[in-house]
Structure 1
């Protein structure tokens, strides 16, 4: 009788122990699951959603500052029918650098041409008469970039600078979509302090000179479209 009682007591203890182990395992599993969910919830979200952001004059500085911090690239290759041009963007002009990298990654420039050619002066790109170009501009946003003048960055031969309007523009803010290269070998220093210089050609000066040789109409538009493709090098 005593043996039966002992066996019964032992079986009860075993069952209780199993139940506790099962309970502990379940609680640990739930605790781990809750930690995992909390960890996911605590993951910082990007400040801006690149799929929905529309740039305006109100958010342009904050957005480009944020974007530049997360996109450090500064070397770009521009392809056209005349060949390839490699450029380096300056860290000293962070808003313009970030904006250019952003447009390259958005494939905006792939809808555009070198649309203005003035031999022995400049070659300008970043626009076209294609409907898709205007559509892309609308999707990206309507905004201007504050000037970023730097006394050490001048309009030397091969300099990359931002186009801008000269009318009703006392702050000399930049057009975010259009840029130009200085093609005059002596530079274009009368534009220093007027347009933001934010990069330079590092390879492809012969291509720049060939573009400058293209025939244009009276409005300085090339007679044949010089389409652009741009991609990040590093």
Structure 2
């Protein structure tokens, strides 16, 4: 009888797991010696989301460096050449043999904590296959944003709800409409601030290497993160 009950419980749990609702979002964890953060990848940018997940599952990012940091702006990583880079070696030109098509969305912008794709100067504004940055940024005044609208944003208007973010939390508004934003830090933003504050050389590379590991969270962890961030209805 006990064996029958045990078997029924196993079958019930298996069925319950199989029919459990999938998470609404995919999350990744970035670990460094300065702490860790959890990033939600945006469903609105599926090409960038899926590319990042693929590389992370392959272990591509493990051992790469945050090779370029600019305080009050961003921290950048994902250069494959950084894995075995010598001290002082110039980094930032390494990449894979493809680009990811740009995925611009007016609701996604460069507020503090977002994950965005680095790129070279190409007319399609297609993204690097592997290099990314996380925004630290700064706060803006309305006057600052007005000037950007007439200058680097080339006539794009910053909506009031985004202006409120830029005034109160900060970001890098000058990059909007130029680089694809495809995720945001939901926990551990202090890691970004710590890395952004480290000492660096004249080429913005940290004097002491900042390697990372990137892990794709499992389904049950993603469901939990959806609940914690209020994204599961």
Q: Which TM class, normalised by the smaller chain length?
A: 0.5 to 0.7
Deviation at 1:131, TM superposition (A): 4.6
- 1:27-53 superposed Cα distances (whole Å, 9 cap, x missing partner): xxxxxxxxxxxxxxxxxxxxxxxxxxx
What corresponds to 1:45 in structure 2? none
Consecutive unaligned residues in structure 1, runs of 5 or more: 1-71
Alpha-carbon spacing, 1:73–1:230, altered in 2? closer, same or farther (3 Å): farther
Q: What residue in structure 1 maps to residue 157 of structure 2?
A: none
**Contact 2:25-2:43 at 8 Å conserved across structures:** no
Matches within 5 A, 1:1-234: 74-127=26-79, 128-131=81-84, 142-166=97-121, 169-185=122-138, 186-233=170-217, 234=222
When the two chains are superposed, the root-mean-square deviation of aligned CA atoms in Å is 2.0
In structure 2, the residue corresponding to 1:109 is in which secondary structure?
coil
Q: What residue is the counterpart of 2:165 in the other structure?
A: none
Q: Deviations over 1:86-137 (max 9, x none)?
A: 10000000000000000000100003011110000001111243359xxxx8
Distance 2:197 2:63 in 1: 22
Give distance in 2, aligned partners of 1:121 and 1:83.
Answer: 19
- Structure 2 runs not aligned, ≥5 long: 1-23, 86-93, 139-169, 223-233
Deviation of the 1:73 alpha carbon: 6.2
1:189 and 1:181 mapped to 2: Cα distance? 13
Matched position secondary structure for 2:119: coil
- Hey, what's the Cα distance between the residues in 1 that align with 2:123 and 2:130? 19
SS of alignment partner, residue 107 of structure 1: coil
Structure 1 distance, partners of 2:114, 2:83, is 27
Bigger radius of gyration: 1
TM-fit CA distance, 1:176: 1.1
C-alpha distance in 1, partners of 2:132/2:123? Answer: 19
Match of 1:31 in 2: none
Counterpart position of 1:41: none
How far has the Cα of 1:204 moved from its partner? 0.8
How far off its partner does 1:205 sit?
A: 1.1
Count of aligned pairs: 156
Preserved CA contact (<8 Å) 1:125 1:179 = yes
- Residues 49-86 of structure 1 show CA distances to partners (whole Å, capped at 9, x for unaligned) of xxxxxxxxxxxxxxxxxxxxxxx861000000000011
